[in-house]
Amino acid sequence: MNFVDQVALVTGASRGIGRAIAVEMAKQGADVAIVGRDRAALQETADACVHARVGANAHVIIADVADQKAVEGSVNETVERFGRLDFAIANAGQSIDSLLLRLKPEVLDQMLSVNLKSAFYLTAAVAKPMMKQRSGAIVLISSIAGLSGNVGQAAYAASKAGLIGLCKSTAKELGSRNIRVNAVAPGYIETAMTESMADAHRDFLIQHAALGRAGTPEDVSGVVSFLCSKAAGFITGQTLVVDGGILI
């Protein structure tokens, strides 16, 4: 995979899977725009990109992905700085667990805004420069919860399932302009977001994974890099499960 002279935008790039994706794209030669709200954490990601490849160009953008204007501004800033935009990865996400009967409306709204609406905003915004280029790849980070559901995660699972529908529909809409849209559905990945998971639940997931281990952010970032590459040039509208074999 060689992304030299190409540009990637990654949301939720301050830590975890998003950071790993940004570093992997930079390692493969891309200039990277990293988007999030935590400037210090994003700068750490930018430094990691430079460490991964001498001369890597990582541009920090502070934005709330739940704000449509902020997302559009991030895309415009990326194009203005680098002159093009080849890859967009909608990784920003949040999980707030709650049983359905205890689910507060504001929590539902937050899950849909951060996990789903932000991806709508990003996809629509990046489609414009990509259509002009007549090329591009978009990757949406979903979850196996969006495929199988999970007790106490109705809002989270619904938002992640929505990304799969968004992927399929936009792949059909944008395919004629040579823009591919795919999704990745990670399983249990060891990140800051999963640190609070109960030990019993963590052990259950690992025991039910065919590979018998938890995943790492790098397990996901390599798949995202593949989906952006020419090697995946005839793949669109698909959801790749990266869960170590939990769902099989």
Active site residues: 156
Rounded-to-integer distance, Cα 53 and Cα 37, Å: 24
How many CB atoms sit inside 10 A of residue 214's CB?
A: 17
Rounded-to-integer distance, Cα 194 and Cα 191, Å: 5
Contacts of the segment 221-224: beta carbons below 8 A, 24+ positions apart: 221/17, 221/20, 221/21, 221/23, 221/24, 222/24, 223/184, 224/21, 224/24, 224/25, 224/89, 224/139, 224/141, 224/184
Local structure of residue 240 (DSSP, 8 states): E
Rounded-to-integer distance, Cα 71 and Cα 128, Å: 13
Contact partners, residue 161, CB within 8 Å, separation at least 6: 142, 146, 147
* Residue corresponding to tokens 């170590």: 244
The amino acid present at 56, given as its one-letter code, is: A
Contacts of the segment 199-207: beta carbons below 8 A, 24+ positions apart: 205/246
Q: Which helix H or strand E contains 186, and what residues bound it?
A: strand 179-186
Edge-first strand listing for the sheet containing 87-90: 58-62, 31-36, 7-11, 87-90, 136-141, 179-186, 239-242
